Structure 1
């Protein structure tokens, strides 16, 4: 039965490989998105842009709130994985 099931499942191997690659890409994107160091750098960049006057106070506040939400989500994700 092993050869028969291999023959039947062989056409699905490219699909399985594509799904595996997509999962790897998703995992890496999430790792980078929720990386605390990346988020802190982005917060610093927002602060620098505000000081330089390239963005307004409201825009900086909006960006900082979004980054803080990401940082909090990152903390929750890391504690739930432990």
Structure 2
């Protein structure tokens, strides 16, 4: 399983899933208002205040940067949990 960590297709799939999930969350928020609880990943921030555009831009695949890509993969998985 570790051979998948940091692969371009895995990171792209996680990013797409996060975008889809964030869209669903915003749809719910439009009806109920934001849920004000601390973020699991960033406990100093409210989960409804995370800027997903910035986070997705920060944790993207970079050609030839294996350790960064593995880190990005893990952070994206953690963001899935956080959402």
TM interval, short-chain normalised: 0.3 to 0.5
Structure whose residues are more often helix by fraction: 1
Normalised by the length of structure 2, the TM-score is 0.34
Give the structure, 1 or 2, with the largest relative contact order (CA under 8 Å, sep 6 or more).
2
TM-score (norm 1): 0.35
